[in-house]
Structure 1
Amino acid sequence: MAQGELRDAGSAHIATRGDRLGGLGRVLIAVYLVLAIAATFRSVYQIITKFDEAPLAYALSALAGVVYIVASVALIKRRGVWRTIAWAALIFELCGVVIVGVLSITVPQLFGHPSVWSFFGSGYLFIPLVLPILGLLWLSRTGAPVASGEAA
């Protein structure tokens, strides 16, 4: 088998594997889009109507909404620099939900009202905690193929 044929056969295998994960990717992106819309619009409403009651909580919810928007776009594009942005957004999101989750339990008076990430996203059925983990797993399984002879 010639080297070009071998490379084509490997690409076909990778494409098949990517297709299998396509359904999971679509669901993941759809959930990110719904969460982006929910968190963003809720935080905008809260900031406009009652920001003085819980500025940190509402600002964190707005930040979460922006992170979900960036993550959604990056997961949709998922090539080149967008892949790096997706990794960064998901890691930032996971750190945010864990840090805010711990602080909302240990220092609840800091927030005033719950944010998207408070109590590890319990107000959103813990989706904010689980989603970045699933996203990171999905990204790691759908890695960009490396052509033979290139450095990994």
Structure 2
Amino acid sequence: MAETQAPERTTNRGPGRLLIAVYILFAIAATSRAGLQIATKFDRAPVAYLLSAVAALIYIVAAVGLARAGHAGRRVALACCTVELVGVVAVGVLSVADKALFPDATVWSGFGSGYGYIPLVLPMLGLYWLWRTRRDPA
């Protein structure tokens, strides 16, 4: 009797498409916000604005990783979601503990409160989706 393999689960199918769309939406929002802030008032809060630019870059790369769906894409998406989660928690804690560190809001300040806390939930959803679509060890 031949052994049947489970169908390969990919990150860019089903609910993964919605996740990729949200990452693209946040990439656009964060890029626009950071670009405007850096262009018009960079001297006011350079760290905050550069963090928004970093968040935008992470959203872009995560979306690409999830969309590629292969082994390399999964590794890229895993790294991005992990860095994103650590970043949003660290910036969230720092922005709540010492408001002077972030005189202007970033995508991740206040745990993403300016974006309905989606920046806090998004990497958890990304990590869950990567786990859910992993290949079953056979």
TM-score by length of 2: 0.93
Question: Aligned partners of 1:78, 1:132: CA distance in 2, in Å?
Answer: 17
Moved over 4 A (4+): none
Instruction: Look up the match of 2:14.
Output: 23
Q: Does residue 86 in structure 1 map to residue 77 in structure 2? A: yes
Instruction: Look up the match of 2:86.
Output: 95
Instruction: Look up the match of 1:59.
Output: 50
Question: Aligned partners of 1:30, 1:113: CA distance in 2, in Å?
Answer: 27
Counterpart code for 2:73: W
Which of these residues, 103, 106, 127, is aligned with residue 97 of structure 2? 106
Question: Aligned partners of 2:20, 2:50: CA distance in 1, in Å?
Answer: 24
Instruction: Look up the match of 1:75.
Output: 66
Instruction: Look up the match of 1:32.
Output: 23
TM-score by length of 1: 0.85
Question: Aligned partners of 1:80, 1:142: CA distance in 2, in Å?
Answer: 12
Question: Aligned partners of 1:22, 1:83: CA distance in 2, in Å?
Answer: 13
Gaps of 5+ in 2: none
How many equivalent residue pairs?
A: 137
Once the two structures are superposed, residues 57-83 of structure 1 have per-residue CA deviations (whole angstroms, 9 ceiling, x without a partner) of: 100000000000000000101212221
Once the two structures are superposed, residues 101-151 of structure 1 have per-residue CA deviations (whole angstroms, 9 ceiling, x without a partner) of: 0000001101110100000000011010000000000000101355x5xxx
Question: Aligned partners of 1:23, 1:124: CA distance in 2, in Å?
Answer: 25
Question: Aligned partners of 1:114, 1:107: CA distance in 2, in Å?
Answer: 13
Question: Aligned partners of 2:90, 2:69: CA distance in 1, in Å?
Answer: 27
Q: Which moved more, 1:125-134 or 1:22-31?
A: 22-31
Counterpart code for 2:15: L
Structure (1/2) with the larger helix percentage:
1
Counterpart code for 2:110: F
Gaps of 5+ in 1: none
The alignment-based identity, stated in percent, is 53
